[in-house]
Amino acid sequence: MRGTKLLLGSLFVWFGLVWCVSRMPVGELFTTTWCTYCDDAAYYIDENFPPIEPVSIIVRYEVDEEAPFDDYDATGMNDRVSTYFSGSYGVPNMHIDGTDYGSGPYSTWISTLESRAGTSAPLDISFSDLTEDSVEITLTLEDPAYAGTHQLNVMIIEDSIYYSAPNGQTLFNQIFRSTITNSPYGDNVSLSTVKSPVVRKYALDLHPDWDVNNCFVVAFVQNTSTNEMLQGNRTPLLRPNYMFSVAPKFQTVSSIAEDTTANMNSTITNRGVNDDTYDVYADLLLPGGWTANTYAGGSSFSTFTTLSIVADGSDVISATINSNGISGSGTVRFRISSPNIPDRVDTVEFVLNAGA
């Protein structure tokens, strides 16, 4: 992996005598591979989180010992459990910026992350240097009311892990892999002076089981007395000039009614350093008499279009499928590629079952 330097800007807003930065909220989901509701929660997040992923964070802790996800840093995972729970607790459970949002509704999790994103935060976190061996993080206090000693947590999470779980879940995203702070319980940092940067540098100890193309470094600072989250940030572990992701890649709508209309969408995210323009093809695999409309970036197209997305930006592809009173099963298939990434084509399928 080539050494890469990242300088992430922040949005500054004047509030009285205090400069405040734009918040990136942190959702921490505690879940298991045997819980049926956990599969439902994961599916909901996979479908609804991508549009707000550029401005918010989710970390998923698969806490059951039978699954393979705690093999790398069980101590770090258990520390996050003990931060919020003592004794038994239910799953799935979501905490957002340190506040318990329980087992749902799942829509509240997403709407809370969305509403908190971009609000003012008392702390700026930036990844001032990222190489194949280490990450350097700069913390800058913006609000003197939050001066004090807080806990810095830095961890690696991974997307697109395929595993056949007992609850039926097969795709795992935002999975906690390992804490990389000096202590598995996070490191205490003293933030005493406004506009005085505090820098921490950590080695990246990567396991060969992890796909670095799907890994991210997540950092957040928390008040250990109140559990209030001051700020969070995330960056791809590997950031080439051109890179993108698409999620979700498969959706199905089933209805007992023969006359059914379904709307489905997926988000393309530009994870590369450079702006890019993507080729988007749409294939309609529909029964006779069915109709479908396809869109990219909100604009209708029939067979082919291009979609330009700035670095760190995202946009949506979508389809509306209408069975027109005819029972059967139909698919709209999108094929997405970048002329700057040879031999890679991502496929998205939207399936409607009408009269099922």
d(CA 167, CA 147): 45
* 4 located within any domain: no
The C-alpha angle 142, 146, 152, rounded to 5 degrees, equals 90
Residues 314 and 177 in one domain: no
Please report the DSSP string for 220-265 in residue order.
EEE-TTT--EEEEEEEESS--SS-EEEE--EEEEEES-SS-EEEEE
Residues 232 and 259 in one domain: no
Residues 127 and 210 in one domain: yes
pLDDT of amino acid 2? 34
Residue 20: both structure tokens together: 């405040």
Of 170, 205, 236, at which residue does a domain stop? Answer: 236
The residue range of the domain holding 270 is 244-354
d(CA 128, CA 306): 33
* Number of other CB atoms surrounding residue 18 within 10 Å: 14
Residues 276 and 217 in one domain: no
Contact 232, 127 (CB under 8 A): no
Contact 121, 207 (CB under 8 A): no
Q: What is the number of structural domains in the chain?
A: 2
* 270 located within any domain: yes
Residues 106 and 228 in one domain: yes
Residues 151 and 83 in one domain: yes
Give me the helix-helix angle, 36-48 and 106-116, nearest 10°: 40
pLDDT of amino acid 22? 92
| Residue bearing tokens 């029972």 | 327
pLDDT of amino acid 16? 39
pLDDT of amino acid 193? 95
Please choose, from the candidates 128, 172, 154, 125, the residue with its C-alpha nearest in 3D space to the C-alpha of residue 217. Answer: 154
d(CA 12, CA 126): 14
Residues 229 and 278 in one domain: no
Of 236, 266, 282, at which residue does a domain stop? Answer: 236
Q: CATH number of the domain at 331, please.
A: 2.60.40.2310
| Residue bearing tokens 């009614």 | 257
Please report the DSSP string for 169-215 in residue order.
--EE-SEEEEE-SSSTT-EEEEE-STT--EEEEEE----TTS-GGGE
Residues 163 and 300 in one domain: no
Residues 188 and 308 in one domain: no
* 2 located within any domain: no
pTM (predicted TM-score)? 0.77
Average pLDDT, consecutive stretches of 10 residues, N- to C-terminus, the chain (356 residues): 34 42 96 96 93 94 85 90 94 98 97 96 91 91 96 96 94 95 95 96 91 93 97 90 88 91 93 94 97 97 97 93 96 98 94 90
* 78 located within any domain: yes
pLDDT of amino acid 13? 37
Of 202, 236, 270, at which residue does a domain stop? Answer: 236
* 7 located within any domain: no
**DSSP-derived 3-state class of residue 70:** helix
Q: CATH number of the domain at 146, please.
A: 3.40.30.10
* 49 located within any domain: yes
Residues 87 and 40 in one domain: yes
Residues 182 and 256 in one domain: no
Residues 167 and 83 in one domain: yes
* 86 located within any domain: yes
* 94 located within any domain: yes
